[in-house]
């Protein structure tokens, strides 16, 4: 654990979490879902692997398919995205994802002191699917995602801050996009280095596991 401050305790009233790469890893089952969707069309030829899914994790849902299938015309891409989206929710509803070690104990501990929220670049229904597989779902007081309004993550972070009248929030995520979004929203950032991305500077702290948060905050 690395921090720029001697102590971050008592500096915040709330914690906003990213989801993928921060609270769980669903890339294995997302890859299964999208590969199943790929077999329903005849114009996506390259297999969708876990590595490909990890390479785009954290991007806005529309951008994901632009990156994966840049040469596909918009109509076909949107149709395939819709099939993937439904397959993803169906698969994750049944199978879930891999919850990161220490999630339950950490969330229970933090909830005694902080208001807890989730903001993700995912599609609508995805956070709810995570919560259905999470024993500590009731400790999260609200969430927002890209799929709700099609807005950038920074705007969704601002919505949570404003809607819940948060005075001193901190955002926890695992990618440079998370850092940039939190910064645009005016929220300090803690980097989860066990996730999918890299953040070299600007974060107020770096954690290598969820369980470190209870000690840090």
CA pair distance 118, 94, nearest whole angstrom: 21
Using H for helix, E for strand and C for coil, what is the string for 173-184? ECCHHHHHHHHH
The predicted model gives 98-113 an average pLDDT of 97
pLDDT at residue number 175: 96
The predicted model gives 121-133 an average pLDDT of 96
CA pair distance 155, 161, nearest whole angstrom: 10
What confidence tens digit (pLDDT) does each residue in 86-100 have?
Answer: 999 999 999 999 999
The predicted model gives 202-217 an average pLDDT of 95
Beta bridge partners, 35, equal none
pLDDT tops 70 at residue 44: yes
Give the closest residue to 113 by CA, choosing from 191, 193, 8, 192.
8
When the pLDDT of each residue in the chain is averaged and rounded to a whole number, the result is 95
pLDDT at residue number 213: 95
Place of tokens 């954690």: 207
pLDDT tops 70 at residue 59: yes
pLDDT tops 80 at residue 55: yes
What confidence tens digit (pLDDT) does each residue in 146-194 have?
Answer: 999 889 999 999 999 999 999 999 999 999 999 999 999 999 999 999 9
Q: What pLDDT band is residue 60 in, cutting at 50, 70 and 90?
A: confident
DSSP of 49-109, one letter per residue? -HHHHHHHTTS-HHHHHHHH-TTS-HHHHHHHHHHHHHHHHHHHHHH--EEPTTHHHHHHH
Contacts of residue 21, Cβ cutoff 8 Å, sequence gap at least 6: 57, 58, 173, 174, 175, 192, 194, 195, 196, 197
What confidence tens digit (pLDDT) does each residue in 12-41 have?
Answer: 999 999 999 999 999 999 999 999 999 999
> Of all residues in the chain, what percent carry a pLDDT higher than 90?
92
pLDDT tops 70 at residue 47: yes
């Amino acid at each position: 654990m690395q921090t720029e401050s001697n102590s971050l305790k008592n500096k915040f009233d709330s914690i906003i979490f990213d989801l993928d790469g921060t609270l769980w890893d669903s890339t294995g089952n997302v890859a299964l879902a999208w590969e199943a969707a790929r077999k329903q069309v005849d114009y996506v030829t390259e297999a969708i692997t876990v590595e490909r899914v990890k390479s785009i994790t954290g991007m806005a849902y529309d951008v994901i398919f632009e990156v994966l299938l840049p040469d596909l015309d918009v109509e076909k891409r949107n149709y395939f995205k819709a099939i993937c989206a439904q397959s993803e929710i169906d698969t994750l509803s049944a199978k879930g994802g891999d919850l990161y070690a220490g999630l339950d104990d950490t969330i229970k501990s933090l909830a005694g002191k902080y208001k807890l929220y989730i903001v993700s670049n995912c599609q609508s229904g995805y956070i709810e699917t995570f919560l259905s597989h999470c024993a500590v779902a009731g400790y999260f007081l609200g969430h927002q995602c890209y799929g709700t309004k099609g807005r950038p993550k920074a705007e969704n972070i601002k919505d949570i801050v404003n809607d819940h009248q948060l005075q001193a929030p901190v955002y926890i995520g695992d990618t440079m996009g998370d850092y940039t979004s939190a910064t645009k929203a005016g929220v300090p950032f803690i980097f989860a280095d066990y996730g999918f991305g890299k953040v070299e500077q600007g974060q107020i702290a770096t954690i290598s596991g969820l369980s470190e948060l209870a000690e840090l905050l």
